[in-house]
Amino acid sequence: MLYMGTCLMVAASIEITGSKQRPSSFAITALCIGAVISSGATVIGIAWAGSVFLFIVIYWLAIRKGSLSELVNRNHLTLAIAVVCITALLAHAIRMFALGKLPALLGGDNILTLLLSFYTNLGLLGVGPGMLDMRANGVGALVPFAPIIAFSAIMFGLVAIGGLLEIRTILGVRTLGLLIVCILLPVLFIFALGVVVHWRVLPRHFIPLVSLFSLLYAFGFAWWWWRRRFGGMAVTLISVIIMGYSSLSVRYAPRHAKDDYKDAAELAAVELARDGRIWWIADIRGALYYGIPVSGEGGSPDATLIPRVQINLSEKTSSFLSAQAPPTLVLLSRADTYDRQNVVSNYLSANKYHLVESFPAFTAWRR
């Protein structure tokens, strides 16, 4: 949703900056729809939407020397509805923040995760290690792939430079500078938010950059290709090949396999058929999607039922876990997310559980 909304806002911005006269009603409507979609997808989308509006207003008034009435252009109602919707979403987000109902606050080094966000959104993810490997081994996971990552980064950097030169020719230096500043504003805001509330910045928070980088690369390809020189054409072709390889690798390479909830659910179903007891230390939505009947925090929605699949136990104390009936199977997903205090891991160690099976993002434990 955030990406879709961003694409609408980017398309509207292109139409507005490229218009010879005042912007069309279609462009303003697309801009407003994209802003509302982005803001509704996540509170972070409000920052991206605000940045786009800021760019357009400053561009139109300071660079184009137009008037605010020309910019609005008989779209008062559309803009008013968008402002009301975004204001309501922002007020709701502030209220949730005041009540302490925040997203999961995952600790971590936000500088490293910010760099990782750019690494993934720039198109380099597929040429390097998988996300699960990087979660487990950190920066060390990049070392075996350092040569191809460095080469790919150089190629993409050359394309990006060409794209900036092409955009500068089309928009001018002032507009390009304003554009860069308005892109950096939400990036810095999200990073600062992560630092203040101790919340991990993730690549998906910067998903709007994907559409911007795609445009940048497209302009870069055009700039290099139309030089009609061997070096420029080579940069274009090599970069396209690397991007294709990166995309296919993310889709098909085993190292980029996603969290394997399907196999985890199948193992849980077999255990339930044997009248076993399971601790599901992972996203509850994965269990529900594959039909695994879960209970609550050590209890059951139905008091007449004995809970056989328990969840949310990593949020409890060691004494609480010890008071529960011992599970015959523990399915533990990413410990940095679902067992941040190592409560479950310590329980497994203290009670002599052994690793019996592992698959992407999951480990299975028995006694």
pLDDT digits over 235-261, tens only? 999 999 999 999 999 999 999 988 999
Q: Quick one: 280 and 189 in the same domain?
A: no
Residue located via tokens 């008091």:
303
* Structural domain ending residue among the three candidates 74, 102, 130: 102
Q: Which domain holds residue 317?
A: 261-366
Q: Is the pLDDT of residue 329 over 90?
A: yes
pLDDT of residue 152: 96
What is the distance between the alpha carbons of residues 145 and 249, in angstroms, rounded to a whole number? 13
238 and 290 in a common domain: no
Domain boundary among the residues 222, 257, 292 is at: 257
153 in the same domain as 59 = no
Quick one: 172 and 275 in the same domain? no
Split into its structural domains, the chain has a count of: 3
pTM of the entire predicted model: 0.81
Which of the listed residues 213, 230, 257 is the one where a domain comes to its end? Answer: 257
If you average pLDDT over every residue of the chain, what do you get?
A: 87
Q: In angstroms, what CA-CA distances link 110 with 125, 203, 284, 310?
A: 18, 11, 26, 32
Secondary structure percentages of the chain, helix, strand, coil, to 5 = 70, 5, 25
- 206 shares its domain with 305: no
Residues 224 and 110 in one domain: yes
pLDDT at 314 (0 to 100): 76
Least confident among 107-116, 152-161, 294-303: 294-303
